[in-house]
A and B are shown apart, each in its own frame.
Chain A
């Protein structure tokens, strides 16, 4: 059989980051505390907490009742994403085209790398060395098999699942890892369908009739069939960060957002492409962090509209921010898809001005055209009152 997908799985990735990598801490009963502003549910638990009956998504009160000595660690989503991004880039450094499955899980095609690294084992070893930390590796013909294999693997021994036969004995709980099928395991178990083999053995029509399209997807996954990987384009990371001299909130934060948006739009790597989404993140005064991904209704390259869309998220910030960062999630195609047939004079002037600014910026760099942005005009310290921001029209 032609094995082609390698999955990497780092169990409890977010928890280990929140614990600062402390093994002593992780050896005890700990779990991630709820994120500020989110429902009061615990996050990933440590093995000791799990053995006491705590699981991710459980109400805090219930978790503390089950394990009275449970310690809750404040989550740090910004650090988790930052570390995970570093690992993905290291992985891409081996030549792999990586599909990001969220912090702790990633997949890549091994086919084109086997000759480079000397077989599938060589590919796995290269990936292991690139990430530089213990991880579990699974190998399979597609994403679902590989991820299921990684869940069964030990730290230094990759596991291979070659299709439906290898999946048959595994629990249907594995379907919870997929967004569309996450709600099915509980119902399947209630109906007595405990393993993927049992699900795959059911008639397709019956599954479709009972569970609809999501059920059909689960049935196909159980039979070892999955869609091809969708790797992310490497090197497409645009991010701007602003350290705030004193913990900021309200209008100061809004100005900081305007500045970051201007900087992000002025980055030459963008090459005129609009942003389809962005991630707004902040490190909070007094520890912890906050992170909100935002998908725009349509690709944007207009600073004011972006600030309007992102500014609403800042209202949810649970504490004053010590730093604010803005990253582009995905970039659209260059050039506006719809143009007016008869542009008015003002629009033509604006277009000419935009073109002129683009030419100046091409010659002098992003700092070629700037404007003064009053960040905190009432500050007692002159250096905190104004900044230079890229001029965008």
Chain B
């Protein structure tokens, strides 16, 4: 095994408060003021470990532009940046 943890952009767990329809209201304690885009990613559905994510690109009250997603298979919210 390499000592280098090499993958970039690995999802990190984040606390998200969601409203109706799963729309994020608060990300890491900061209020969401705008949702710029939302999309669904489905992958590896042909394997025993399917991947389903609902992505949200949001802007918080602090001005951060964040991409968060909800894991629709295992549950939980994650952030990429």
Binding site for B on A (CB under 8 A): 240-241, 246, 259, 263, 365-367, 370, 372, 380-390
Contact = CB atoms under 8 A, between A and B. Distances in A.
Interface of B: 1-11, 41, 43-44, 51, 67, 80
**Chain B's interface: helix, strand, loop or mixed, by majority?**
loop
Contacts, number: 46
B9 A390 contact: no
Q: Could you say which of A367, A380, A382 has the most chain B C-beta atoms within 10 Å of its C-beta?
A: A382
A386 B3 contact: no
A385 B2 contact: no
Contacts of B7: 383-384, 387-388
Given A383-B8, A383-B11, A388-B8, A367 B43 contact: no
B4 A263 contact: yes
Given A380-B41, A381-B43, A382-B80, A367 B3 contact: yes
Q: Could you say which of B3, B41, B44, B80 has the most chain A C-beta atoms within 10 Å of its C-beta?
A: B3
Nearest to B55: A380
Contacts of B4: 263, 366-367, 370, 388-390
B44 A385 contact: no
Contacts of B67: 382
B9 A382 contact: yes
**Chain A to chain B: the 3 pairs with minimum beta-carbon distance, closest first:** A382-B9, A387-B6, A367-B4
A246 B8 contact: no
A247 to B, nearest CB: 9
A383 B53 CA distance: 13
A390 B4 CA distance: 8
A251 to B, nearest CB: 18
A390 B6 CA distance: 9
Contacts of A384: 7
B2 A240 contact: yes
A252 to B, nearest CB: 14
A94 to B, nearest CB: 26
Contacts of B3: 365-367
B41 A386 contact: no
B41 A263 contact: no
